[in-house]
Structure 1
Amino acid sequence: MSDSTLRFKVVRVFVLSGLLSVSAVTHAQYPTAQMGEAVPRDVREVYEKGLQFLVETQSDEGDWRGGQSGPAVTGLAVLAFLASGEDPNFGIYSGNIRRGLLSILRSQDAATGIYGGSMGHTSMYHHGFAMLAIAESYGAVDDSDLWRGSGQSSGEVRSELTLGRSLELAVRGAVTSQKKNRFGGWRYGPDATDADTSVSGAVMVGLLAARNAGIEVPDEAIDRGVAYFKSMTSPSGQVAYAGVGGFDDSIPRISIGTLVYAIARRKDMAEFKATLGSLTSRLEQPSSSSYLRYGQYYQAQALFQGDVEAWKKWNEQLIRELKADQGVDGGFSGGLGNSVDTSLSLLAMALNFRFLPIYER
């Protein structure tokens, strides 16, 4: 590891605690999970095949295309590589990570800080997941020469945009967007005045990851976001989508609510206990067939953060399902396009590794 990789500020040191110990990991040699249990063989094999699919389908520009595309898709794939435990600076996937990060940085609006500002009505989805990827990379990826050899034109000034600076701009963009929102959440566009729990969950997790990485995030922004989720959670633990009321048994939304409360450190709230109880009471109920992988992605994290014993039981079922569903090319399908569904599937399994700071309890 180069000296520049170790130039971290004190506020970033704790982010590295789970990563420095695996800097010498070699190809397909997964260490034991941080909680002391060996990573199941099926997880290692499925994960490796999935990563190879992402390697093969990444474009020369660093993004993934076909089906859904944009900085959210790229961010999820980058997270899948980071979560494997391979050294992000010198490991076999370091080039994939670097190209993916450059693609995300290029997508950021210099004025607003929004990733994927040109994506129209889905821009805040892209912003949330891209912000999460940059937050998890910050402190782990050496960005001192990130732009070197990137082929930027003489007029491109982005070579000065570090991961830390980009993340600060992204936080500012999210907070500015929230201030325009009467509900304290987020909707599809940064200027939206209404909100929904799906987009708001993506942005909240990105903000919380940025805060955990040492970036200043206003307490007011987190408090308003949590208050919005509280207003959308019923006493039974159901989480509405948008507007007023509309509660139903959506496992993805219940999982999003549980995760937001947990990583915002609000496990003392009645709403957290209600959503977690709703999840743990139906561990064997499958996720919705529409956007299947999206639901699994959030349910894995929610259970892990809320009740690790329940997660262990559910995780065994998940591994069996994903092993059976994986295509011969290593990819997954699930309604959002193979690149997205593959990344989401791998990240749902990545709790078995526990390498990403956002995946630590």
Structure 2
Amino acid sequence: MLTLTAASVCVAQSPELRFGETVPRDVREMYDRGLRYLSETQAEDGGWEGGQQGPGVDGLCVIAFLASGEDPNFGIYSNQIRKGLRKIIGTQDPTTGYMGNSMYHHGFAMLALAEAYGAVDDRNLWPPGDASTQRSIGEALELAVRLAITSQKKNSLGAWRYSPEAQDADTSVSGSILVGLLAARNSGVEVPDEAIDRAIGYFKSMTANNGQVAYAGGLGGLNESIARISIATLVYSIARRQDLTQYAAAKTYLVDNMDTTGGHYKEYTLYYEAQALFQGDGEAWEKWNKQLIRKLKTEQQENGSFDGSYGKPLATSMSLLALALNYRFLPIYER
């Protein structure tokens, strides 16, 4: 049985007050422009359209708003956050808990619910008269976690792929689900240790001695992918498994090759690489972060968006979230 513990509503405060550090001006300006773009392009139903779309993209956009440190209940983007969360919850199957048409979407949507749980006041989430008939953030999150756990139990590899019924797995989809589960556990949802241990076991089996990480089908599927190496480094870190030799190998490879570009999936790579370096090697992250700021400053469009392989909403939200480590506001972004 998955149970929820009580979570108090958090009132956001300035990152400078929380950490005594000033967020670089370029980051603040880029982030503000990016949020204005996401605000202006949010559909009336709370989602985002253009390229890839669905609850996973909506979730990443919501997380981008949450990561800025603005009060999610009374701040300037509180309406956008509530609309986005309503859209995510509205897409959820009320019986199975599945969100979207892919476990990718489910993982990122679950992460958004976990980061919103305890920060967004459910009393203001739904319009008057609707709250009693709609799921709360916590209820939706519990259902989402249950779906992920049920899917994993059916999977002989102890991980996930595109369908909740899949019998194979890959490190990319599994990373999105595992990060969502770890965020849910941090927020107060009970996630069995066995589920985390099995998933970490899968990542161990996919991490080579030199730190490279395979995509699917075992170590025979190896080729250099900074995105996958970042995902593995990140999940080992936030699962508190820095004792593993696989973690040390992946982190070392990542730091030694942190200037390698993400190729076709650049925004996806930046999103995970930022978090992995921040968690794994603060000094390396500081150096890489300065380069990231310069890079994204030249790539941001006049309207605040970023271009990417799967449309502006996804590219913009992931690019902003790569910068969001400068704010250190989201619980999942804490060391």
1:137-156 mapped onto 2 (5 Å cutoff): 137-149=116-128
Q: Post-superposition shift, 1:146?
A: 1.6
The 5 Å alignment of 1:319-358 reads 319-358=293-332
- Superposition deviation, residue 275 in structure 1: 0.6
- Confirm or deny that 1:20 pairs with 2:15: no
- Matched residue, 1:26: none
Q: Distance in 1 between matches of 2:15 and 2:145?
A: 33
With structure 1 as the length reference, what TM-score do the two structures score? 0.89
Say if 1:33 and 1:39, in contact at 8 Å, map to a contact too.
no
Match of 1:209 in 2: 183
In structure 1, distance between residues paired with 2:96 and 2:165: 11
Of 65, 68, 72, which residue of structure 1 is paired with 2:56?
A: 72
Contact 1:283 1:314 in 2 (8 A): yes
Q: Give, in whole Å, the separation in 2 of the partners of 1:54 and 1:142.
A: 22
The answer on 1:276 being equivalent to 2:275 is no
- Structure 2 counterpart of 1:246, from 221, 227, 252: 221
Deviation at 1:34, TM superposition (A): 4.3
Alpha-carbon separation, structure 1, partners of 2:7 and 2:208: 37
Deviations 1:20-39 (A, max 9, x none): 351xxxxxxx5427443210
Aligned: 1:313 with 2:287: yes
* Residues 1:307 and 1:158: Cα distance change in structure 2 (over 3 Å): farther
Task: Tell whether the 8 Å contact from 1:147 to 1:159 is kept in structure 2 after alignment.
Answer: no
| Conservation of the 8 A alpha-carbon contact between 2:12 and 2:70 | no
Partner residue of 1:27? none
Shift of 1:293: 0.3
| SS of residue in 2 equivalent to 1:12 | coil
| Corresponding residue SS for 1:291 | helix
In structure 1, give the amino acid aligned to 2:113. Answer: I
Cα distance in 2, alignment partners of residues 310 and 221 from structure 1: 31
**What's the TM-score once normalised by structure 2's chain length?**
0.95
2:136 is aligned to 162
Corresponding position of 2:75:
91
Partner of 1:3: none
Output one character per residue of 1:234-255: Cα deviation in whole Å (capped at 9) or x when no partner: 0110000001221121000000
Distance 1:275 1:33 in 2: 34
Please name the residue that 1:81 is paired with: 65
2:12 and 2:144 mapped to 1: Cα distance?
Answer: 29
Contact 2:12 2:72 in 1 (8 A): no
Judging changes above 3 Å, is the alpha-carbon distance between structure 1 residues 213 and 278 closer, same or farther for their aligned structure 2 residues?
same
Deviations 1:88-145 (A, max 9, x none): 00001000000000000001111111111xx2xxx10010000000000000000123
Amino acid at match of 2:296: L
The residue type paired with residue 112 of structure 2 is A
**Residues matched between the structures, number:** 331
Q: In structure 1, which of residues 285, 299, 303 is the aligned counterpart of residue 273 of structure 2?
A: 299
> Given the alignment of the two structures, is residue 55 of structure 1 paired with residue 55 of structure 2, yes or no?
no
Aligned position for 1:237: 211
Contact 2:275 2:325 in 1 (8 A): yes
Give CA deviations for 1:2-24 in whole Å, capped at 9, x if unaligned.
Answer: xxxxxxx97535xx7xx5351xx
Q: Given residue 254 of structure 2, which amino acid in structure 1 is its aligned partner?
A: L
- Report what 1:101 is aligned to: 85
Give the letter for the 2:59 counterpart: G
1:295 to 1:33, Cα distance in 2 relative to 1, 3 A = farther
1:138–1:164 contact (8 Å) kept in structure 2: yes
- Unaligned regions of 5+ residues in structure 1, if any? 1-8, 23-29
Deviations 1:255-285 (A, max 9, x none): 0000010001101101111110001112222
* C-alpha distance in structure 2 between counterparts of 1:86 and 1:34, whole Å: 13
Name 1:191's counterpart in structure 2.
Answer: 165
Quick check: 1:11–1:213 contact (8 Å CA) kept in 2? no
Contact 1:184 1:224 in 2 (8 A): yes
Alignment of 1:129 onto 2:87: no
2-structure distance, mates of 1:205, 1:38? 28
Shift of 1:182: 0.8
The alignment's C-alpha RMSD in Å is 1.6
